[in-house]
Structure 1
Amino acid sequence: MQRILKYTITEPYINYTIEKFLLEQGYTRKIITHLKKYENSITLNDKWAYVKNKLSLNDILVVTLTEPIENNIVPVKLDFKIIYEDEDILIVNKPAFMPIHPSLNNYDNTLANALTYYFQSKKESVVFRCITRLDRDTTGLCIIAKNKLSASILNAQTKNRQIHKTYIAICEGEVNDCGEIEAPISRKEESVITRCVDFEKGDYSKTLYKKLRYNKKADVSLVQLKLLTGRTHQIRVHMKYINHPLIGDFLYNPNNTLMNRQALHSYKLSFIHPISHEKMDFMAPIPNDMQTLL
């Protein structure tokens, strides 16, 4: 796969080295080292350039990202919905019961398998890089990076809490109109998967919530949630902590069988595009099983 990026040098970057300029555009030193392996991967005014070359006003810098594909993911035709796609990113509405990556018991039923098939059908070779991961049973929006550069920039945005995610959940009982949950989370002793609130050993965790609707007959609340930290199972653990566990959550609410999965959906995504720097906003409708329960 190749991604060609063209830059016209403006006044703030006069006398920058190419390396310094690329670092400011979000390239990592690892990506710059990778570029050096390929002839003409960096050209300045149509001539092969070194990263120590200096830039002048109105110079044309072209970077060709070449990425050999070493793909051992089995392509499988699976149902999923694409919300948006360009040369650098893909936004997917992930269905329920679909893991993100292949594992021992999920070799050919994952989002990685589905996208490998999709890209091959388009005669594209793309390394699978999921930026915003979701649990197997959680539905909703995921960002996929289609090249090294977009992945690097989006991962930095994730680390800096610049990718804003809003979730929708259905919880037991009538939840307060709004509030915040500030309770540290750690792995439960003797468990690889289960998390719990632990004020001695846990990592700082904070969740904001807002009740959108209450169904008195079913005694369930539709709740909007925003994460201010990114701990594993954070929403599920925090809602259990305030005695409003998620419907259908076999791990943290095993006695509730109103749904056959946890009622959790990644509803909104907002972030800055890694290459164009445009503000991106996406929404995915509440899935049918959650709508039916409401």
Structure 2
Amino acid sequence: MKRVGEWLEIDIPVDWANNTVFHILTQKLGASKALIQKWNNTSAIMKNNHKADVNHQLIQDDQLCLHIFKEEDYGVIPEDHAIEVLYEDDHLLIVNKPAGIDTHPNEANQRGTLANGVAYYYQTCGLKIRVRHIHRLDRDTSGAVVFAKNDLAHSLLDQELQTKKIKRTYISIVNGRLSPPNGVIKKPIGKDRHHPTRRRVSPKGQSAVTHYHTEHYDQKKNLSVVSLQLETGRTHQIRVHLSSIGHPIIGDTLYGGDKKLLQRQALHAAMISLTHPISHKSIKVEATFPQDILSLLPK
């Protein structure tokens, strides 16, 4: 598979031959039926330089082309602010989100978000494509965020996220010493009816599972550096779970954290690993720590 202008070209190998376009797109590429229908309706599928129907048969050395690199509206207002790129190719962009900004707008024409900065970055690179975030981080959480650069990558990465194939490792600094130092927190999370944005552990909430591992304990400061991985992606999951076991994240006043050392929650999405949706290569990216958290980590 290779990019040629606005098209993704696929030369049909012998083991893909004698199947329909629809079979190749669903079973070999993993595209969703909804996406294929969209391509079919917009003449975005070509076979040997001619418009193809999804029921067309393909033989060895046929050329199947998908119009996935076309110009699109950004979907957000481009805004000039620094973007730290951790990884980029024709299909993916992974950036290091700073603390203190939203991942994406929550209302029309909102500015100041990571997505606004990504749109501006695309603009400066001569790209006119939609800003598609695959997941999000809380406003005051820093770290790696993945964006898809076309609708095929978006569809496939969404599937990876749903099937838990995208692995994210967070680093947090919490009060106290965890006992046991490593473990799994399995507590359902629901909305707190007494607070508009807070979540809480609730028997009637959605299932939530967090794995944690103590990386370091500072006896003098009574602080632990903890790495965490999520099996589920509930709102505020790490923050709620750590608070529920008596070890709130420092700076996280919403869930009982102390602001003496930090003015925001000490939570950073430090690493992300995934399988590239097109090449199927393993990608592992680390996001550098912001200075406020770095100053609290052991030297």
Moved over 6 A (4+): none
- Determine which of 205, 208, 213 is the counterpart of 1:205: 208
The structural deviation recorded for 1:49 is 2.1
Gaps of at least 5 residues in structure 2 are none
Q: Which SS does the other structure have where 2:58 is aligned?
A: coil
Q: Sequence identity of aligned pairs in percent?
A: 37
Q: Is 1:241 matched up with 2:221?
A: no
Matched ranges for 1:145-224 at <5 A = 145-176=148-179, 177-199=181-203, 201-224=204-227
Amino acid at match of 1:194: R
- Determine which of 260, 263, 279 is the counterpart of 2:263: 260
Q: Which SS does the other structure have where 1:77 is aligned?
A: coil
Q: What does the per-residue CA deviation read over 1:104-135, in whole Å, with 9 as the maximum and x for residues that have no partner?
A: 59921101110111111112111111112100
Q: Which SS does the other structure have where 1:179 is aligned?
A: strand
Q: Which whole-Å CA distance do the structure 1 matches of 2:258 and 2:182 have between them?
A: 26
Q: Which residue of 2 aligns with 1:28?
A: 32
Q: Which residue of 2 aligns with 1:89?
A: 92
Amino acid at match of 1:157: E
Amino acid at match of 2:190: S
The structural deviation recorded for 1:21 is 0.8
The answer as to whether partners of 1:17 and 1:54 remain within 8 angstroms in 2 is: yes
Amino acid at match of 2:95: V
Q: Which residue of 1 aligns with 2:103?
A: 100
Amino acid at match of 1:184: P
The answer as to whether partners of 1:3 and 1:87 remain within 8 angstroms in 2 is: no
Q: Which SS does the other structure have where 1:69 is aligned?
A: coil
The answer as to whether partners of 1:3 and 1:147 remain within 8 angstroms in 2 is: no
Q: Is 1:113 matched up with 2:143?
A: no
Q: Which residue of 1 aligns with 2:274?
A: 271
Amino acid at match of 1:185: I
Amino acid at match of 1:263: A
For the aligned residue pairs, the C-alpha RMSD in angstroms reads 1.9
The structural deviation recorded for 1:72 is 5.1
Q: Which residue of 2 aligns with 1:128?
A: 131
TM-score between both structures, scaled by the size of structure 2: 0.91
TM-score between both structures, scaled by the size of structure 1: 0.93
Q: What does the per-residue CA deviation read over 1:74-128, in whole Å, with 9 as the maximum and x for residues that have no partner?
A: 2211123001110000010111111111235992110111011111111211111
Q: Which whole-Å CA distance do the structure 1 matches of 2:6 and 2:255 have between them?
A: 44
Amino acid at match of 1:236: R
Q: Which whole-Å CA distance do the structure 1 matches of 2:107 and 2:53 have between them?
A: 45
Amino acid at match of 1:186: G
- Given the superposition, is the C-alpha separation of residues 291 and 278 from structure 1 closer, same or farther in structure 2, using an over 3 Å criterion? same
Q: Which residue of 1 aligns with 2:66?
A: 63
Q: Which residue of 1 aligns with 2:285?
A: 282
